Structure 1
Amino acid sequence: MTELDTIAFDIETTGFHMDDQLTVVRFDADIGSRIFLNTDGRAPPPNLEARVNEELATAVSISVQQTERTLLSEMDAFVESTLTHQDVKLVAHNGERWNGGFDLPFLRTRLCYHDIDWPFAELSYIDAMDVFETRFNTSGDTLTAVYEELIGSGLTGLDPFVDSEEAVGAWEEEDFESLVRHNVADIRRTRALMRLAERYCSKSDFSMKSLDPVA
């Protein structure tokens, strides 16, 4: 399991209902972060990527799209060219668990809506939330709380939000820089926690599943 490189994965949305839409899809690896931003036809700051990268040790690449459909198409092309057939595993925090999760179920619904095929065929997946609920003694249950308890507050300066719910308002108000900064911080928390879990937990503590579809 640990021979597979970790690619952290997360999404941002306008809400939790089936007719809400994706605003951000993000991935994070050792070499940097890849952010897909849906502006819904609005223009982001022209120097958005440069401003986000000013204070970061590893690079952030931002792909700005005008619609949810083009965001999903660009994400699909990225996964096919960069992740598929590589020795990697996708990792999320409450992305998909045996009794629920959010990110992958929401993504499936939006892919169905746009009639776009499932992009993660041949990839493996682990949900980090399961490990931290069962193998660590923490008082918090959110991604940020668990990260700060076990690792520290090193990403606090990057994240402009106290609560992830602020991301919806930022997108609506066209504050795309704050939205992207929050997303970079969150996705890096996820990957850092997975690295920590792999240091202290046995392989049998991780539940890995294949994301290959049946058909």
Structure 2
Amino acid sequence: MMCHAHSKGVRIVMRGACSLETLFNESARTAWVEQTVQSAVGNFTDGFNIDFEQSLQKSQAHYLTDMVRQIKDAFKKALPYAQVTLDSPYSAECTFGRCYDYRAIGEIVDYIMIMAYDELVVDGRAMANAPLNKTTKGVDDFVKAGVPSSKLVLIVPWYGYDFPCSMLTESDVCLYKLSTQRQSAFGDIMKLLDNNSTTGRKWSEADQSPYFDYKVTYKNEKVVLFF
């Protein structure tokens, strides 16, 4: 299957990350890099996606930068054509506690993959998975941090969130209890819109995103679902 994919011009990369304990230990980090490269070569892959997603203080950011440089150098030595990328949250401003040195990392990797989803604000207000204004600002934050736009890849979601409303305001804002929201795949969203919606498709000017209401009959529960 791998050979067939390559024959069609498809690039296959591995994905993974080391633990925080390994990141802070130079010898353990070096061993992890060597094992990762050996696995990639042995499986005939074309690179590596660093899916670290761990919180780091600014004073600790250099550890991640060092790891990224190590793995990029090791992959280029073993597989000169290899592509190395890093996953990041939707903004470069210490989002989710990930205070990485994006400028330095941007100089090393082939691409920074901006995961433009799960941008919910923890204020109990239903909102889009990836509001246009927050997503746009997030991309701008990377550019302002010194990452060339040519190094940025925007990853957009194929799912939304439904929010069980504890109250629906006069301005049509759904207030919900934190942690009660649920992810919904796009296909399921469209089925709910066609078969269960009580309002039809609506539009959020604030988030620049569609949404609709539906009711869970057996719970007598009003739910707002954002695309």
Normalising by structure 2, we get a TM-score of 0.26
TM-score, reference length from structure 1: 0.27
Structure (1 or 2) with the larger CA radius of gyration: 2
Structure showing greater relative contact order (alpha-carbon pairs closer than 8 Å, 6 or more residues apart):
1
